[in-house]
Copies of this chain bind each other. A is one copy, B any other.
Amino acid sequence: MAVTIHDIASYLDLAPSTISKALNDYPHISTATRVRVFEAARELGYYPSASARNLRRRRTERIGFLYGFITVDVGEYASRLINGAVNAAEKAGYNVLLYPLTGNQPEKLTRICNTGEVEGLLLMGGEHLARSINLLQKERIPFIVLNRQLDEPDVSFVSADYHKVTYEAIHHLIELGHNRIAYVGQNVLEKLNSDRVYSFRQVLREVGLSVDESLVTSAGPEPGAGYEVMHKLLDLADPPTAVLTIHDPLAIECLHAVVDAGLSVPEDVAIIGSDNLRESQSTKPPLTTIHPPLAEIGRRAMEGLLRQLSDESVPPTRLILPAKLVIRQSTVAGGESR
């Protein structure tokens, strides 16, 4: 049986409350007894019961990480976000709980919010996102959405400046002479990825290009969907000469589709991915890609959430961090090739 505060109390012939105060650096305890208590605690191997202190303090020092991708392999993407978040939590003495959210399970989410098992939530994309946000707004629990920019003014998020980097990407393509630029998004994320498509359309107009809706496409979540979409794009009467995709794995599928069609990248079709995953470096040719600071997004989101927890009056965290365009050979031939 574990050593409790009572054991220390009877060992030292003191009251349990005294032990608690001594260990928690409360006032009204003399230095002498404080030292005695600490020594006894170490000697007896005392560790406070997490459940007991959670109950009494009404705080668990735990944050839930909600994610909901189903088919897509988002290992590296997710782990960069999570790493940033976990490290920030660690510094503040908080732990992170993983909550996979597959399918539609509102009861589960409601339960998580109301049992007090976590103090706040971080939300990573997935088809659940829109629904989850709606639900969470009704609950008391603080939460922050990762890597999405939201319009509702009260919802917290930490994202990257996709609008600006989309501008850079399109500008980059235009400088290379492209004017038929396609967009390949992803269905699962659709509702809340509208910010990305929106930027795409907006930027095209800004630079004076018209938006050809037949070039604004969306792949399903199943593997190979990007390949299909690209295939169809190439079959158009007037196919695109450049493609902007929302995720590197999707870009890679597009790359394969182009190559399999007997065309070459970047000469016939230029391709830009997103997230700068490790694999984007080793494709043939290497991918030009948008690099959002995922780990920092995770970190800043966690920091914002913890701030909101410690002080009710803190305004929502709405942060947009700079993203970079990493230029490789899927848009510009030559250069640093491997």
* Stretch with Cβ within 8 A of B (4 or more), from A13-21, A71-79, A127-135, A167-175: A71-79
Partner of A100 from B54, B87, B99, B114 at Cβ < 8 Å: B87
- Is A97 touching B100 in the complex (CB atoms < 8 A)? no
Taken residue by residue from 83 to 103, chain A's Cβ proximity to chain B (1 for < 8 Å, 0 otherwise) reads as 100110010000111111000
- Is A55 touching B51 in the complex (CB atoms < 8 A)? yes
* Stretch with Cβ within 8 A of B (4 or more), from A151-159, A185-193, A230-238, A275-283: A275-283
Contacts of A65 in B (CB 8 A): 98
**Chain B CB within 8 A of A28 CB:** no
- Is B51 touching A111 in the complex (CB atoms < 8 A)? no
Number of interface residues of A (CB under 8 A): 50
Taken residue by residue from 243 to 273, chain A's Cβ proximity to chain B (1 for < 8 Å, 0 otherwise) reads as 0000001001000100100000000000000
Partner of A114 from B47, B54, B279 at Cβ < 8 Å: B47
- Is B55 touching A338 in the complex (CB atoms < 8 A)? no
**Chain B CB within 8 A of A197 CB:** no
**Chain B CB within 8 A of A318 CB:** no
Contacts of A80 in B (CB 8 A): 75
Taken residue by residue from 111 to 127, chain A's Cβ proximity to chain B (1 for < 8 Å, 0 otherwise) reads as 10011110000000000
Which B-chain residue is minimally distant from A80 (CB atoms)?
B75
- Is B284 touching A338 in the complex (CB atoms < 8 A)? yes
* Min CB gap A39→B, angstroms: 16
**Chain B CB within 8 A of A50 CB:** yes
Q: How far is the CA of A87 from the CA of B282 in the complex (A)?
A: 31
* Min CB gap A332→B, angstroms: 18
Q: How far is the CA of A110 from the CA of B46 in the complex (A)?
A: 11
Contacts of A99 in B (CB 8 A): 95
- Is B51 touching A116 in the complex (CB atoms < 8 A)? yes
Partner of A97 from B74, B95, B115 at Cβ < 8 Å: B95
- Is A252 touching B282 in the complex (CB atoms < 8 A)? yes
Contacts of A54 in B (CB 8 A): 50-51, 54-55
Contacts of A214 in B (CB 8 A): none
Contacts of A256 in B (CB 8 A): 338
- Is B282 touching A47 in the complex (CB atoms < 8 A)? no
- Is B73 touching A114 in the complex (CB atoms < 8 A)? no
- Whether A49 touches B55, Cβ cut-off 8 Å, given contacts A282-B283, A338-B284, is yes
Q: How far is the CA of A15 from the CA of B213 in the complex (A)?
A: 65
* Min CB gap A56→B, angstroms: 8
* Min CB gap A306→B, angstroms: 16
Partner of A50 from B49, B73, B78, B115 at Cβ < 8 Å: B115
Supply 14 further A-B pairs (C-beta < 8 A) apart from A47-B111, A279-B279.
A2-B114, A49-B55, A49-B115, A51-B60, A51-B116, A75-B80, A78-B79, A82-B98, A86-B98, A95-B98, A95-B99, A95-B117, A98-B98, A284-B284
Q: List 27 A-B contacts (CB under 8 A).
A: A2-B114, A45-B114, A47-B114, A47-B115, A49-B116, A50-B60, A50-B115, A51-B60, A51-B117, A52-B55, A55-B55, A75-B75, A75-B79, A75-B278, A76-B76, A78-B79, A83-B100, A87-B100, A90-B100, A95-B98, A96-B97, A97-B97, A252-B282, A259-B338, A282-B283, A284-B284, A284-B338
Closest 6 CB pairs of A and B: A75-B79, A47-B114, A279-B279, A75-B76, A51-B54, A51-B55
